Amino acid sequence: MKPLKIVHIGAGSGFVLSIARELLGHEIFDNAEFVLADPAADRLKSAYKVVTEELAKKPNHIRVSCFENNADALPGADYVITSCEPNRYENWYYDLMIPEQFGSFQVKGENGGPGGIIHATRNILMFKKILADIERLAPQAWLMNFTNPMSFLCTYFKNYSKVRALGFCHQVHGSFGVIAEMLGMKPGELEVISAGVNHLNWLFDIRRHGGRESVMKEFLALVRDSKYWHERFKNIPEQTFTLKVLDTFNMYPIGYDDHIIEYMPFFWTREEWDRHHVRALTETYHNMARKKQHILEITRLLGKEFDKPPFPADPDHPYYAENPCAVIVALETNTPTYFDAINIRNNGAVGNLPADVILDVPAVCIGGEVRSIHVGDLPAGPLEICRRQTAIHEMLSHAVEDLDNSLMIQILCLCPYITSVTQAENIWNAYKEHYKLDFFR
């Protein structure tokens, strides 16, 4: 068996450290080539340093190389991991600030709302070149994506690329490790069955690790009694609105407050933010852009200049590892393996959503494919939130591929955060001017 070649595009992100750790966990990666690609020379240098330091902790024969140009890194790649985004925080600031000028307010708009729509537009345009390079230089490779907005991007990959693509997010897996710790358990003690759009999964059932019986009633009782769902604490994920959604829709939304609200315009109004101690993320994004800090720096400074969050108690606990390397092992060894959440085609996982839309669902890797697992039907309220969003995902993939100005305005009109066609037109025209998107016609 020839050694694997794994290329990480956007290696200057914090994900590269987790991937390096996982490469040490299985013999399938012996003699592998781990290629780091990032156009920013300073980030690439930093990534190389942390990766080689991590790999030096255990005996291995993994070769590490670096390229600033993706085309130089990709030839012959077996797997391509992407976690790339230029001017991340500066752009996110304007993603939210521009709609505010026309009366549309989001606390966070990474994946949903007008902020998520323009974020997806920029990153799809970026990925067109990446996908073309993969198709040309590594046509048999699997693409394993971390870049957001996950559901938007995976929908575009599905519709307009021949590349086999999977979307990875630690939202479900990671948050339930933290939730278990909040409830006095160990990470991994709770096993969840959930489905939805990325950053908004809905909990269908939950069990103790290895258990056969549902503990949903016990879990919801613990949640409703826990201080972490009723109060806000420094450096701890906020879940007071999560509890409000649970009580309103009778279904637990997974992703913490700052993720689920991306899709929920019925979040507290701008006038209520102060009363609920909500902080606008435009300020956070602007400050991070001003300091020009990136995630690798934050990762290395955690616990020194930065306050270490109480959860997870051990960020290096094996439970919190990302899943791409586990998928690679399953594919390469043909070992059937279950994953609690991967972004792929629905294919019946949620019975009352279209088969071809991208959802964040449980999956099994078997027979050289990653296949969704049937979960059930969503009730009417959660269903409509997800259905509207998947329609927007599909429309945007077509709008960006065709550079269709009219379709972009339609999408904004359908966005739950937009209240009039005039508002939609004003926001889109301001986005076009700021991000120089006049090639949309």
Residues 6+ apart with CB under 8 A from 85: 10, 91, 123, 126, 147, 148
In 3D space, the residue among 98, 69, 94, 95 whose CA is nearest the CA of residue 11 turns out to be: 69
Tell me: do 324 and 391 sit in the same domain. Answer: no
Output the six-digit token pair for 394: 């599909």
CATH of the domain at 48: 3.90.1820.10
Domain count of the fold of the chain: 2
Output the six-digit token pair for 403: 């550079």
266 found inside a domain = no
> Given the structure tokens 């739950």, which residue do they identify?
416
Tell me: do 82 and 133 sit in the same domain. Answer: yes
284 found inside a domain = no
224 found inside a domain = no
Tell me: do 21 and 73 sit in the same domain. Answer: yes
pLDDT band at 301 (very low <50, low <70, confident <90, very high): very low
Other Cβ atoms less than 10 A from the Cβ of 307: the count is 10
Tell me: do 395 and 333 sit in the same domain. Answer: no
Is a pLDDT exceeding 90 seen at residue 433?
Answer: yes
Last residue of one domain, picked from the residues 328, 362, 396? 362
76 found inside a domain = yes
pLDDT band at 303 (very low <50, low <70, confident <90, very high): very low
- pLDDT of 296: 56
Tell me: do 143 and 41 sit in the same domain. Answer: yes
Packing angle, helices 240-249 and 216-225, rounded to 10? 130
Tell me: do 75 and 136 sit in the same domain. Answer: yes
> Given the structure tokens 């990480």, which residue do they identify?
8
What domain range includes position 405?
386-435
The residue ranking higher by pLDDT, 159 or 306, is: 159
Packing angle, helices 88-100 and 281-291, rounded to 10? 150
- pLDDT of 178: 96
Tell me: do 27 and 71 sit in the same domain. Answer: yes
152 found inside a domain = yes
268 found inside a domain = no
Instruction: Let me know: does 142 contact 164? Beta carbons within 8 Å.
Output: yes
The residue ranking higher by pLDDT, 67 or 13, is: 67
Tell me: do 58 and 118 sit in the same domain. Answer: yes
Tell me: do 30 and 127 sit in the same domain. Answer: yes
Tell me: do 125 and 82 sit in the same domain. Answer: yes
In 3D space, the residue among 150, 128, 373 whose CA is nearest the CA of residue 262 turns out to be: 150
> Taking all residues of the chain, what is their mean pLDDT, rounded to a whole number?
94
